[in-house]
Structure 1
Amino acid sequence: MPGSSSQTLDVIVIGSGIGGLVTATQLAAKGAQVLVLERYLIPGGSAGYFERNGYRFDVGASMIFGFGRRGTTNLLTRALEAVNVRLETLPDPVQIHYHLPNQLELKVHRDYKQFINELSAKFPHEREGIRRFYDECWKVFNCLNAMELLSLEEPRYLTRVFFQHPFACLGLVKYLPQNVGDIARQHIKDPELLKFIDIECYCWSVVPAEMTPMINAGMVFSDRHYGGINYPKGGVGQIAQKLVEGLEKAGGHIEYQARVTQILLENGKAVGVQLANGQTYRAKRIVSNATRWDTFENLLPAEQMPAREKKWQQRYQKSPSFLSLHLGVKSEVLSPKTECHHILLEDWAKMEEPYGTIFVSIPTLLDPSLAPEGHHIVHAFTPSWMEDWQNLSPTAYEQQKEAKANEIIHRLEKIFPGLDAGLDYQEVGTPRTHRRFLGRKDGTYGPIPQRKLLGLLGMPFNRTAISGLYCVGDSTFPGQGLNAVAFSGFACSHRIAVDLGL
């Protein structure tokens, strides 16, 4: 029984984000004894939820990839099926409605031809370049979608996949060291269109095209048309809830309010964990779903950080966190043709600045059950650094939250006239909120390159320099986003299963 600290389990997973839960469920399905330790009251981390006044708010965004029904890149569908659970999803016909400088209004339709035609109509002189650029993204996606996505650290898997899909593998090798900006500039010359490619990347990678790996873009820019954006009925939090249900069906366990404070080492090998209440658990393998900064600076002695991790921290830095507005609004505020996801940017020069780009999710347009009748949820969020919120008195902190929220709402009035007058509920989250509830260093969204790197080649895989310790989640290959961390979970569980002989 996991409650006994004397028993040695097969695997302990620290944190129940989607990467950690996919790792845990995959291993439990293979017969491993798995225990997940979650510091909060519910699972999911950034993919969690909270309820207020009849509203069910998603903690993070509601633009979800990975729920397609075909191919191999539908990783969330596959993760749930592996533990015999199902989740109803609702298709979104438009990924994003962009509201950009110079009155550039554009929708990324689920229908690929419709999107390409709309974009080409805005930039008719770049019609051929647009087609060639997005066709290259499809080449990457088709290579990924031809093979089972498991651990790139497992030689037998690599050998098997290469012999099964030699051309797909060679296609991916070509793109591994490349970034989106390099490919885009080969086909496109218009500076405003290149800015559009920048925000196409920035909206999920938090860096412009020249620093976004082409492998990731190939997945995102194509899967939105192939598998599509599909919202889980009942809210994003249902993904983690269903994975936990599947974990327990498969014989695994999860403990809540179990905050790990230390990874225990013996002779340089990870052998267990200690909780804030002093309780210890032991396992043959330890998986950290915390960020790499939290793992190697807080859960392990920072002064003993392995050289490999120091090198990684020189290449990557923490991305900003977010200022989040969770709003309940009267339904008449939104016109009948409103799309679920929006991005607002008034000045290209401010795209990467704090509060420059505003992201909006309105999940009740897909699932009205998340709000009281006659109301919608508007979740608006914008990048914000922890430094802006430190060393404030409680009063000053609340005043700053109110002031920033008013600024964001005023800007959103441009696309949602009457938003302020139609407010029914408002809750504001800051980087401090994200750090407190999600346990993420400085509330960060994940790692971003310190400088231009060679595509994905700098991203670490799941094994670490410490024997018996693995990392999973957005600090590992292939990076940020729910489908990406699910990929990380599949890879991590595969590598551990091989190591344990399962």
Structure 2
Amino acid sequence: MTAAIAAPAYDAIVIGSGIGGLVTATQLAAKGAKVLVLERYLIPGGSAGWFERQGYRFDVGASMIFGFGDRGTTNLLTRALADVGQALETIPDPVQIHYHLPNQLDLKVHRDYEAFLQELIAQFPQEAEGIRRFYDECWQVFNCLNAMPLLSLEEPKYLFNVFLQHPLACLGLVKYLPQNVGDIARRYIRNPDLLKFIDMECYCWSVVPATMTPMINAGMVFSDRHYGGINYPKGGVGRIAEKLVAGLEAKGSSIRYKARVTRILTEKGRAIGVELADGEKLYAKRIISNATRWNTFGELLPPQQEPAQEQRWQQRYRQSPSFLSLHLGVKADLLPAGTECHHILLENWDELEVEQGTIFVSIPTLLDPSLAPPDRHIIHTFTPSWLGEWDNLSPSEYRDRKAAAAAKLIQRLEAIFPGLSSAIDYQEVGTPRTHRRFLGRQNGTYGPIPRRKLAGLLGMPFNRTAIPGLYCVGDSTFPGQGLNAVAFSGYACGHRVAADLGLV
């Protein structure tokens, strides 16, 4: 549908205030652009938001945060805040994950790289050389990324300058662009349980096993946890979005809440503005969607305007599951000294990817006790779940199914937290319907995953779209899911839009 031409009031409008959208907005504002962020909910952050109940401050998503290091170039959250004059105190986590896996595979991914390797080698002594060679190759990828500023790969001037300054790092990344983790792991490793462990190492953030996880993404995750480390923001994950908003406003730009975009306006095929649910129309030189690509091209634009390249992308990628989330407040004496903040529980390898199979656990109060009342802890548990399990239920059916799913999760968690059921002080359940309602994500999806094995990251789209003036940012753009990955997407999008606006 075509809108009447109007003078743009903004340089850029960003639809959605997830971390990718906020990083884009703040990068543009830092370069002098006038930016408006439109958020459908009451607070910023999207999946990195929060909510408060009875003295508990719960993170909506996971609390395993990359990107808060103090050196190199991959510390994107530290840099994004600093670019708009903000900073956050963070708390280092000495262990990324404590795994509780089939065949009594129990181990911790220590922040110290050698300590992690030694613990893994102790479980698989016959694979000692292969373990070291595989994870050392992940470091090769990371070192290439960490040698250069991470901006838009769509901007020729940036690419040319980076290649001149870091030719070996660039060539190293080109080598790994078409490769997946599973192929490289199998060059060095034969033990099937160890290969399944590497599947889990990928699945815990990519929601696909190693054969479908790009090596560049794994190189970042598997190495940065030992380099920059996992660092929890004091006050909760929601503080990241709050600080980015403060920086955005300090730079003269703005955010509006309860502003649900229902349509992207176009004129002669070019994106020129947006229409809100109340009928208000706003115009900008550039429109940036932090919604998923399914929302962007399936809802905000009419089907007849879907570009052919988006149709091809949807043939290569599908929606990942959403999550069933269980937010618990528990008595502090439930957890013995030495309990780790993050856990993953799986009893049967065949259930890695099934409905409510793998269980993820975050206990952020072990790092920041201020998030809960005295003598209490937060246990946030989540497990993959599809909307089809929860849709088209009556209110009573929905309530009963949530209660049954929560009881089953609690029963399984008793294996690592004995006495959990009797220590619960507060309980709240979220489903894919919750994610769809509050985060505005189609089917509550976590993001895109390949329909079949693809060539590394080569299938992921960048920020520009086939519609002039329209850009996408977030987990359905390069390089994919995860807080630091969407921050990377935000940096890239901000740089690309700034170049198109003549600001760099």
In structure 2, the residue corresponding to 1:470 is in which secondary structure?
strand
| Residue 92 of structure 1, CA deviation | 0.2
The one-character-per-residue Cα deviations of 1:123-152 (angstroms, maximum 9, x if unpaired) are 000000000000000000000000000000
Task: Please state whether the residue corresponding to 2:378 is helix, strand or coil.
Answer: strand
Match for residue 455 of structure 2?
Answer: 454
Question: What is the identity, as a one-letter code, of the residue corresponding to 1:117?
Answer: Q
**Cα distance between partner residues in 1 of 2:58 and 2:303:** 36
Kindly indicate whether residue 157 of structure 2 is the aligned counterpart of residue 136 of structure 1.
no
Matches within 5 A, 1:155-166: 155-166=156-167
User: 1:338 aligns to what?
Assistant: 339
Q: For residue 422 of structure 2, give the secondary structure of its aligned residue in structure 1.
A: coil
Per-residue CA deviation, residues 166-219 of structure 1 (Å, 9 max, x unaligned), is 000000011000000000000000000000000000000000000000000000
Q: Give yes or no for the alignment of 1:316 onto 2:309.
A: no
State the alpha-carbon separation in 2 of the partners of residues 391 and 176 from structure 1.
42
Query: How many residue pairs were aligned?
Result: 498
Contact preservation (8 Å) 1:48, 1:60:
yes
Structure 1 residues 315 and 403 mapped into 2: Cα distance closer, same or farther (>3 Å)?
A: same
Q: CA deviation at 1:391?
A: 1.0
Q: Are residue 282 (structure 1) and residue 278 (structure 2) matched?
A: no
Q: Is the 8 A contact 2:327 2:378 kept in 1?
A: yes
Q: Which amino acid aligns with 1:391?
A: N
**C-alpha deviation, 1:390, in angstroms:** 1.1
Partner of 2:30: 29
Per the alignment, residue 220 of structure 2 pairs with 219
- Residue segments in structure 1 that go unaligned for 5+ positions in a row: none
RMSD: 0.6
Q: Tell me how far apart the structure 1 counterparts of residues 281 and 233 of structure 2 sit (CA, whole Å).
A: 36
Cα distance in 2 between the residues matched to 1:337 and 1:226 = 23
Residue 6 (structure 1) shift: 6.2
Instruction: Verify the 8 A CA contact 2:17 2:46 in the aligned structure 1.
Output: yes
Report if aligned partners of 1:6, 1:281 keep a CA contact under 8 Å in 2.
Answer: no
Q: Give the SS at the match of 1:421.
A: helix
Q: What are the equivalent positions in structure 2 for 1:87-166 lying under 5 Å apart?
A: 87-166=88-167
Matching residue's letter, 1:112: Y
Q: d(CA) in 1 for partners of 2:7 and 2:140?
A: 51
Show the counterpart of 2:203: 202
Equivalent residues in 2 for 1:10-409 (5 A)?
10-409=11-410
What 5-or-longer segments of structure 2 have no aligned partner?
Answer: 1-5
TM-score by length of 2: 0.98
User: Runs (4+) of structure 1 moved beyond 4 Å?
Assistant: none
Distance across 1 between alignment mates of 2:169 and 2:7:
47
Q: Is the 8 A contact 2:63 2:237 kept in 1?
A: yes
Paired with 1:190 and 1:156, the residues of 2 have a C-alpha distance of: 46
For residues 7 and 410 of structure 2, what CA distance do their matches in structure 1 show? 54
List per-residue Cα deviations over 1:64-92 (Å, max 9, x = no partner).
Answer: 00000000000000000000011000000
Q: Work out the CA distance in 2 between the residues paired with 1:340 and 1:387.
A: 31
Instruction: Report the residue type matching 1:304 in the other structure.
Output: Q
Listed one character per residue, the Cα deviations across residues 228-258 of structure 1 (whole Å, up to 9, x for unaligned) are 0000000000000000000000111000000
Q: Distance in 1 between matches of 2:188 and 2:479?
A: 25
Evaluate the alpha carbon distance shift between residue 165 and residue 6 of structure 1 in structure 2; reply closer, same or farther with a 3 A threshold: closer
Matched residues in 2 for 1:407 and 1:208: separation?
25
Q: Does the 8 Å contact 2:8/2:285 carry over to 1?
A: no
Q: Which residue of 1 aligns with 2:3?
A: none
Cα pair 2:269 2:467 within 8 Å, conserved? yes
SS of residue in 2 equivalent to 1:420: helix
